[in-house]
Amino acid sequence: MLRIELLTDQRDSLGEGPLWDVDEQRLYWIDSYGPAVHSCDARGGERKSWPVPEPIGSLALREKGGAIVALRSGFFTLDFATGAVERICETQPGELRPRLNDGKVDRQGRFLAGSMDFEESDPVGALFRLDPDLSVHELDRGIVCSNGPCFSPDGKTLYFADTGRRVIYAYDYDTATGAVRSRRVFASFEGMRGLPDGATVDAEGFVWSVEVYSGRLVRFDPNGVIDRIVNLPVESTTSLTFGGPDLDVVFVTSMARPYQGSYHRHREAGGLFAVIGLGVRGLPEPRFLG
């Protein structure tokens, strides 16, 4: 039977980027405007936090330990032992409007993250790939708000949402080089209650997107047709990941900050939720190889 639990009652201003690590059996997520990285076990216990110096959009765990974090100005390393944060590079130097946002590691251990317009109105964002040698490559541009990058089980399709345009795109993804081509609309949210935000792909190859401002999980089949909708306790949900010992629990982040001057109707806004009993398993998320 489906049930939804409030895992932690800490109210994140903008909870985002949940990531389950199968090696540690721990959940990581961020508060974009905390700004901080958080971690806990599968039941919300053993919490740890690391502050970061700029708004944060996403993180990737490293094979060698620690993390790569996508901060406002670019890619940085985070040392979990010391809390030290060191810059790798700026992604759009001299540009004041974009900040790095959502990201995900591909099946080959490269980290993809896109940027967004701070004002969420103009297409000043871009999509970047950070390789294990710490070189950065621009894959696409003209994006209003980058969100929800995730990969098909074989790694050959990249799904990527532009929240500002209300669409999820699909690209052909070259697993050898990390290049993208043939962008097309995978799913449109025109006429739906909310907008596409964070996303992941399950073991059956279906895409799960969090519909922000409506509080729903939307599952699409590989052709972009809606297969299932799951209602959540708050409207301000932002992103999701499969986790737990059997990768069959969906962890969902949310935000407490007001939206367009309006406060959220639900007191749990900003909380971290566990959705149990969906009958679907996820795939393990790779670590960054650099």
The reply to whether 79 belongs to the active site is no
**What is the length of the chain?**
290
User: Which residues are bridge partners to 36 per DSSP?
Assistant: 31, 51
CA atoms of 146 and 165, how far apart (whole Å): 10
Q: Which of 53, 46, 77 is nearest to 63 (CA)?
A: 77
3-class DSSP state for residue 164?
helix
Among 190, 213, 212, 201, which Cα is nearest to 284's? 201
Helix H, strand E, coil C: the string for 112-133 is EEEEEECCCCCCCEEEEEECCC
Measured CA to CA, the distance from residue 217 to residue 88 in angstroms comes to: 34
Angstrom distance (rounded) from CA 154 to CA 152:
5
Give me the catalytic one of 31, 102, 197, 202.
Answer: 197
Buried-exposed string 238-267: b where 16+ CB fall within 10 A, e elsewhere: bbbbbbbeebbbbbbbbbbbeeeeeebeee
Q: Could you tell me which residues are annotated as the binding site for substrate?
A: 99, 101, 119
Q: Which residue has the tokens 């997520």?
A: 29
Side-chain-facing half-sphere of 119: CA atoms under 13 Å: 6
Query: Taking the CB of residue 64, how many other CB atoms lie within 10 A of it?
Result: 9
Residue numbers in the known binding site are: 16, 99, 101, 119, 147, 197
Residue located via tokens 């900040």: 99
Asked if 160 and 151 touch (Cβ cutoff 8 Å), the reply is no
Q: Which residues are catalytic?
A: 197
